[in-house]
Structure formats: structure tokens, C-alpha cells
A and B are shown apart, each in its own frame.
Chain A
Amino acid sequence: MGFKTLLRNIKLNTNGWLLISLIGVAVILLPIFSIFVSLFETPNENWEHIKQYLLANYVLYTIGLVLFTGLFTVIIGVTLAWLVAAYDFPLKRFFHWALVLPLSIPPYIAAYTYSAMLSYTGIVQTTLRSFGITPNHKWFDIMSFPGAVFIFTFFLYPYVYILTRSYLERQSGSYVENAVLLGRTSFAIFFRIVLPISQPAIIGSLMLVIFEVISDYGVTSYFGIQTISTAIFQTWFGMYDVDSALRLSAWMMVGVVGLFLIERMLRFNRKYSASTSKSSQLVAKKLKGFSACAAVFFCGGVLAVSFLIPVIQLMVWASWTYGDVVTSAFFHLTLNTLMVAAIATAIIMFFAVVVANVVRLQPNRFSITLSKLILSGYSLPGAIIAVGVLTFFIALDEGIESMLLLLGRESVPLLLSMSLVMLIVAYVVRFMATGYNAVEAGFEKVGTVYTEASRTLGYGITRTFFKVDLALIKGALLGGTILTFVEIIKELPMALLLRPFNFETLATKTYQYASDERVIEAAIPSLFIITVSVISVLLFHNIGKKLER
């Protein structure tokens, strides 16, 4: 290719859309990059101490949580998925969507609720005492490692359930029918066919569960479990040692990237892929008598523990406390939450649309790399992103300060790193993928032919976008906006680390109440978060159903 041709191609591909995409990628990458850089600086004394005495424990507990939660979410999620996909029993249609609901309760809210319910003054022990039974209260100690596994399992299993179920419903029909014809029992079919063929769905959803667990701060800090995420908080808030927090984040990031590579390898080495492109629907087998009862009991039990019981308890508490909690201050903080979430969502959707459009219209190696980079915040725990954003903004502030000094102005220290800008940037980094994936799916469904038609009729890329593309991806855009908005409202660790002084969101307020031993008062903000999430979960479920058709 000659130089002039190269020039022509660069000119052809350079436009406002690409420039905006580059800005978006920079916003996402700079904080992540600032963490990476810290790996090459000399550590302070504190770090030596952490490394020698604490790090092994942090890593051990993190891995332990991941292993046990992973194991149990797979057991519960896959069993439920198989039950609902392959069998017909009373209330099955209800369980089909209702088993998704626990996803709308953030694990930290579940942890606060269950620990208060099981405490000495909680409903469980008081009820038992009123019957004259005084149990050993150690039996109800949920604030422990097994307790954390319990909470994570019951409030994260829907990831495994959703992905595995829809995979089974779409893919497994003919295999299962064949196995039945070959005289296999249900039990054998489950272990010899269902588990192996749904491996990709299980691994994919397991990754989501693992990312949630390692990212968690709310549950582990409340239960006093030392994970890497809580350690980042402690070195930051407890020791005011941002350097060590940064270093911890960097190592954790290395771990996450490693995990990511393992997942890629597992997917790449996947031995099975459908030998026929025709996927037949699984025909549900009718359960009768005892087995039907057992199925209803199992599904109902899981749903009760993971949704109904905590929600009912929260409602009761809310009815006790609404007079004290619902004040003008509460409205103020609700408004805060919605406003910050709205701003961050708007920024995310803007960049998501621009980058997705560039990738769609100029699908070359450069733009595809851009799209991969812009998603890189998704798999990183909130604490890491928070540390990265803070480091980046402190550096930026120092830059601004020295520039102001050069210009002979008075210095304004910590201009940006005390403001809401930081929190919003962190949200953008973390949740860009949520918005982007929705927009990308929308564009994929529409294809490029309408855009091409518009261009042959005399419209450039930008005017085509506003006259044609936007109208066609409206639904996907709305879906992505709602999902992103809700994710941001639920988010806890980044809000805790990066909020400006005296700024509260619903999530941080819930945390605040819980750590002040006023869990009951957390009911109203919790219910608010759950309600918004339920709407988004149900919406997502419906969208998913439409896509499957």
C-alpha cells in the first residue's frame, strides 16, 4: 500500500465519531493504567508489613469465598435450571421468572437483613423463646465465613440459573430426546448429558458470580471477613495509606486478568459444540405425585430464602420506621442518588452509542480493539477502580495546581479529587460494559443496510445516525439505560470510597445504618433499591425472552 493510499484510508476512517471514541477509551483506561504503573514503584514500609503478615490471609479468604460460593451457586443454579427447563410441575410458569428475582437484592442488603433477623433480638430467636425454647445463639451466627457463602449463594445463583436455563431450553432438546430413546434414566441424563453440554453457559455465569464475590465489600466487611477488597478499604480508610491500597489493587488486578485468561482458555478448549445447527426445543416432562411436590417444595424453598423472607422482613421493618426515616434528608439523598446515577448513565450511553457505531461502520482491527478496551472496567472490582480513579485525579490535581502556580494564581488544592466528578468517572469505568452490550446487541439486530441506504441517499454518518439509526435502536438504548441506571444505584464500594464529604447515596446510607447497628432503619432505602432493581430484572427477563424467540 502506497503512502497516499494510507493517507486516504486514514482520512476515510477519521471522523468525529472516532475522536469521541478515543476520548471515551482514554477516560476508561487512564485510571486503570495508573494502578498498573504503581507496580513499578518502590513500596513503603507498610506494604512490607502487609505482605508479610496479612496478604496470604486476604488471598486465602478471597479464594475460599470464590470456591465455595462458586460450587454452591452451580449446584443450586443448574438444578433449578434443569428442573424448570425439563419438567412440568405446578407453579412452574411462575418459578420460571420468579427465580430470577433474588438478583434484585444486592448481597449486602441481604446480609444486613439476615443478620438482624437471626440476632438475639431478631424474629427467629424471639419467636423460639416465646415458645419457651432458648437455643444456643451460636447456631444462628451468620456473621461468619459460612454465613457469607450462604448469602452469596442465595443471592447470586440466578446468574447461573438464567444462563443455564435459557441454554438448556434452546440447545438440549434433541440430545435429551436421544438419551431417553437410548433408555437412560433422568438421573443419568442430568450428569452425562446436561452438565457436559451446558458447560459453556455454566462457566460464563460462574465468571459473573466470581466477579461479584471478589468485588464485594458490603457483605464481607459487615461479617468481618478479610478479603482483598476489604483490605483495600482498610489500608485506605484505616491506615490512610493510598500507596499500599494501590499496590494491593494492582496485584488483585493481575489476579483478575489471570482469571479472565483462564476463562478464555476454557472456552477455547471447549470440546463440544452443536453438531447440528437446528436446535430443537426441549419438551417438558410432566411430574406427578411425590416428585411434583418435591419440585415445588425445592423451588419454593429457594425463592422463599432468597427473596420472599428478606423482602417481607424489610417491609415489616419499613412499616415500623418510616416515620423516622422518611424525612426531607431522605428525599434529598434519594434525589442525590438518582441525579448522580442519571448523569453517569447519560455519559455511559453516549460513549456506548458512539463506540458501538464506530465498530459497526468501520469494523477494522483498530476499532475492535477500542471496543474491547472500553469494556475493560467491567471485570475489575469496584475497590480497584476507585483506587485507580483516585490516584489519577490526585495526579491531575497536582498538575492543575502547578499550572495555576505557574500562572501566578493562588493554588486550589484537591479541586477535582474532592468533587463528585471522581465518583461519576468511576461509575462510567465500571458500568460502561452494561450499556455498551445493550447498544451493541441493538445495532447487531438492525444491521447496516438501512445506514447504507441512507448514505446512498445523500446523508453522512452523523445525520444518518439521527434520522435512521437512532429510531431503530431506540428499544435497545432504553433497555441499556435502565440496566445501567439500576446497576449504579445498587453500587456500594465505589460510592463509599469516592463520595465527597457529606454526600450520601441510598447504598451508602444503607451501609451507614447497618454499620451503626440500626439495620431496621435501613429497610426503607433497601426497599427502594430492591424495587428499582425488580423493575429492571423483570424488564431484562422480558427482553431476554423476546431475543430468544
Chain B
Amino acid sequence: MSYVNISEVTYTYTSKQPPILSKVTFSIDRGEIVGILGPSGSGKSTLLRLIAGLGTPDQGIISIADQVVVNANTFVPPEERGVGMVFQDYALFPHLNVEKNIEFGLHRMSRAERKARLDEMIELVQLKGFMKRYPHELSGGQQQRVALARALAPKPSLLLMDEPFSNLDTELRSSIRSELRDILKRAKMTCLLVTHDYQDVKAICNREITL
């Protein structure tokens, strides 16, 4: 059985509209980077939210690392799913600096472990010297790396990325794409990313799914 299984997932916003996701089924192997392609409004982001537990599907089963997180009679809340997410506009906590943002998800670790993990993450995304800055003092690319470090820090079993490049300049994109790919490979992350740009998928992913 694959590492992540999405089986017959259906989701409707309001009963008046046809379902935005209809019996979506696919799976992801461990360590694989999969891209979901589709035009805006095709339900890509919604699918990510359902996997993260930020929404409940009308029907279908989602399992992550051999654990069913949602089906007709179970619902594991997002904080217990072990899923990391990089939001489209990063959602860095505006009242916390870079260091505190990255440490945010490490509350179950001891102080020493936390410090070690923080250093590791800073090293990984190369943000030394920016630890005390606040999100609004960072460039778009730096913000994205903080968001990535924050999501990776608690060692999630699955990383979800929602349009990771949409807020970046086109010149920056290609360099950041390869950077992201390296980081994900080094971290041996299983990753599902959503984009409307085929270039993103081609540069980063092992495989693509079109919605």
C-alpha cells in the first residue's frame, strides 16, 4: 500500500453547486514529490485543505502513513495529522520573528532538541542572520523559505504546498524552484504541491496529476 492514499474524495461547497471535487483518487509513495496541476477553481487548494484536515470531505477516505485520517466515521484533527503545510501567502505569524515562527511547531521537544532543530532548519533554508527579523522585514523569497522551514521543522510525514511560487517574481522563480527541489530531496520529504504552472511541476516533481 502506498504512503498516502486518497480514495473517492468528494467535496461540495454549497448544495446548489455541483461538487468541486468528485471521486478524486490517487496515491503517493514515500519520498515522492507529486504535483497537482489544474486551472484556478478546479479544487486543487480544496484538496490540500481536506488532506491537512482544514475541511471535511462529503465522502471518501484519506489515509496518511497507514493511518486513516478521515472516513465516514473518523476525523483526525489537523493538529494530530502530522501534515506540514506551506500556505499560498505563507501565513507567517506577523507577531513573531523568524526564529519564533520556525520554532512554533516544536513545542513537543525539549529545549535542547528545539535549538538543534532550529539550527538545522536555518542551515537548510540558509537564513542565518535573519533570525530576529519579523516577516514584514523579509523579501518574498525569504518569506517563502521561512514558511518552508516552519512547515518542515516538526518533521511532518507529508508536506503540502499551495501555489508555492505564486507570490514570487518570474526572474526569481527558476532559481527558487531548483533550490526547493534540493531542500526537499535533502530532507527526504514526501510532498504534494499544487500549481497552475506546468514549469513548476516539470522542475520539481517526479510525477503529476491533473484535476
Question: A residues bordering B, Cβ < 8 Å?
Answer: 2, 4-5, 7-9, 11-12, 449-450, 452-460, 467-468, 471-472
Q: Are A8 and B108 in contact (CB under 8 A)?
A: no
**Chain A CB within 8 A of B151 CB:** yes
Stretch of B69-77, B125-133, B163-171, B200-208 that contacts chain A: B69-77
Q: Are B95 and A472 in contact (CB under 8 A)?
A: yes
- Interface bits B126-165 vs A (CB < 8 Å: 1, else 0): 0000000000000000000000001100100000000000
Q: Are B108 and A12 in contact (CB under 8 A)?
A: no
Stretch of B30-38, B82-90, B172-180, B188-196 that contacts chain A: B82-90
Q: Are B154 and A458 in contact (CB under 8 A)?
A: yes
Q: Are A8 and B75 in contact (CB under 8 A)?
A: yes
Partner of B72, one of A4, A450, A452: A4
**Chain A CB within 8 A of B3 CB:** no
Q: Are A4 and B52 in contact (CB under 8 A)?
A: no
For the complex with contacts A456-B53, A457-B154, A471-B93, 10 further pairs of A-B residues with Cβ separation under 8 Å are A8-B73, A8-B74, A449-B91, A452-B85, A453-B93, A454-B93, A456-B81, A457-B104, A471-B95, A472-B95
- Interface bits B49-70 vs A (CB < 8 Å: 1, else 0): 0001110100000000000000
**Chain A CB within 8 A of B78 CB:** yes
**Which of A11, A456, A458, A468: most chain B CB closer than 10 A?**
A456
Q: Are A457 and B56 in contact (CB under 8 A)?
A: no
Q: Are B150 and A457 in contact (CB under 8 A)?
A: yes
Q: Are B91 and A458 in contact (CB under 8 A)?
A: no
Partner of A455, one of B79, B93, B107, B154: B79
Q: How many Å from the CB of A181 to the closest CB on chain B?
A: 39
24 contacts between A and B (CB under 8 A): A4-B72, A5-B72, A5-B73, A7-B73, A8-B72, A8-B73, A8-B74, A12-B77, A449-B91, A450-B93, A452-B85, A453-B93, A454-B93, A455-B78, A456-B52, A456-B81, A456-B83, A457-B79, A457-B105, A457-B151, A458-B80, A460-B79, A471-B93, A472-B94
Q: Are B91 and A452 in contact (CB under 8 A)?
A: yes
Q: How far is B54's CA from A460's CA once the two chains are assembled, in angstroms?
A: 12
The residues of A that contact B104 with a CB separation of less than 8 Å are 454, 457, 467
Q: How far is B94's CA from A530's CA once the two chains are assembled, in angstroms?
A: 37
**Which of B87, B91, B105: most chain A CB closer than 10 A?**
B91
Q: Are A9 and B56 in contact (CB under 8 A)?
A: yes
Q: How many Å from the CB of B160 to the closest CB on chain A?
A: 8
The residues of A that contact B150 with a CB separation of less than 8 Å are 453, 457
Q: How far is B56's CA from A11's CA once the two chains are assembled, in angstroms?
A: 13
> A457-B105, A459-B107, A468-B93 are contacts. A452–B73 as well, Cβ < 8 Å?
no
The residues of B that contact A11 with a CB separation of less than 8 Å are 75
Partner of A458, one of B79, B87, B93, B94: B79
Q: How many Å from the CB of A364 to the closest CB on chain B?
A: 11
Q: Are B94 and A12 in contact (CB under 8 A)?
A: no
> A5-B72, A8-B72, A8-B73 are contacts. A452–B154 as well, Cβ < 8 Å?
no
Q: How far is B96's CA from A472's CA once the two chains are assembled, in angstroms?
A: 11
> A450-B91, A471-B95 are contacts. A455–B75 as well, Cβ < 8 Å?
no
**Which of A7, A453, A459, A471: most chain B CB closer than 10 A?**
A453
Q: How many Å from the CB of B146 to the closest CB on chain A?
A: 12
The residues of A that contact B56 with a CB separation of less than 8 Å are 9, 12
Q: How many Å from the CB of A406 to the closest CB on chain B?
A: 44
Partner of B87, one of A4, A9, A453, A460: A453
Q: Are B75 and A452 in contact (CB under 8 A)?
A: no
Q: How many Å from the CB of A101 to the closest CB on chain B?
A: 34
> A5-B73, A12-B56, A460-B79 are contacts. A452–B87 as well, Cβ < 8 Å?
yes
Main secondary structure of the interface of B (DSSP, over half): loop
Q: How far is B171's CA from A35's CA once the two chains are assembled, in angstroms?
A: 68
Q: How many Å from the CB of B193 to the closest CB on chain A?
A: 15
For B147, give the chain A residue with the smallest CB separation: A453
Partner of B75, one of A2, A12, A467, A471: A12
Q: How far is B151's CA from A449's CA once the two chains are assembled, in angstroms?
A: 14
Q: How many Å from the CB of B115 to the closest CB on chain A?
A: 18
Q: Are B108 and A458 in contact (CB under 8 A)?
A: yes
Q: How far is B105's CA from A460's CA once the two chains are assembled, in angstroms?
A: 12
10 shortest interchain CB distances as A-B pairs: A457-B105, A4-B73, A453-B91, A455-B78, A471-B95, A449-B91, A456-B85, A5-B72, A458-B79, A455-B79
The residues of A that contact B73 with a CB separation of less than 8 Å are 2, 4-5, 7-8
Q: How far is B70's CA from A4's CA once the two chains are assembled, in angstroms?
A: 12
Q: How far is B83's CA from A450's CA once the two chains are assembled, in angstroms?
A: 16
Q: Are A456 and B95 in contact (CB under 8 A)?
A: no
Partner of B89, one of A449, A458, A460, A468: A449
**Which of B54, B74, B108: most chain A CB closer than 10 A?**
B54
For A452, give the chain B residue with the smallest CB separation: B54
For B74, give the chain A residue with the smallest CB separation: A8
Q: How far is B52's CA from A472's CA once the two chains are assembled, in angstroms?
A: 23
Q: Are B77 and A455 in contact (CB under 8 A)?
A: yes
> A12-B56, A453-B91 are contacts. A458–B85 as well, Cβ < 8 Å?
no
Q: How far is B151's CA from A7's CA once the two chains are assembled, in angstroms?
A: 32
Q: Are A452 and B78 in contact (CB under 8 A)?
A: yes
For A453, give the chain B residue with the smallest CB separation: B91
Q: Are B105 and A458 in contact (CB under 8 A)?
A: yes
The residues of B that contact A8 with a CB separation of less than 8 Å are 72-75
Q: Are B72 and A2 in contact (CB under 8 A)?
A: yes
Q: How far is B89's CA from A422's CA once the two chains are assembled, in angstroms?
A: 48
- Interface bits B94-136 vs A (CB < 8 Å: 1, else 0): 1100000000110110000000000000000000000000000
Q: How far is B156's CA from A456's CA once the two chains are assembled, in angstroms?
A: 9
Q: How far is B74's CA from A454's CA once the two chains are assembled, in angstroms?
A: 22
Q: How far is B60's CA from A7's CA once the two chains are assembled, in angstroms?
A: 17
Q: How far is B81's CA from A285's CA once the two chains are assembled, in angstroms?
A: 61
Q: Are A455 and B54 in contact (CB under 8 A)?
A: yes
Q: How far is B80's CA from A471's CA once the two chains are assembled, in angstroms?
A: 24
Q: How many Å from the CB of B77 to the closest CB on chain A?
A: 7
Q: How far is B58's CA from A8's CA once the two chains are assembled, in angstroms?
A: 12
Q: How many Å from the CB of A460 to the closest CB on chain B?
A: 5
The residues of A that contact B52 with a CB separation of less than 8 Å are 452, 456
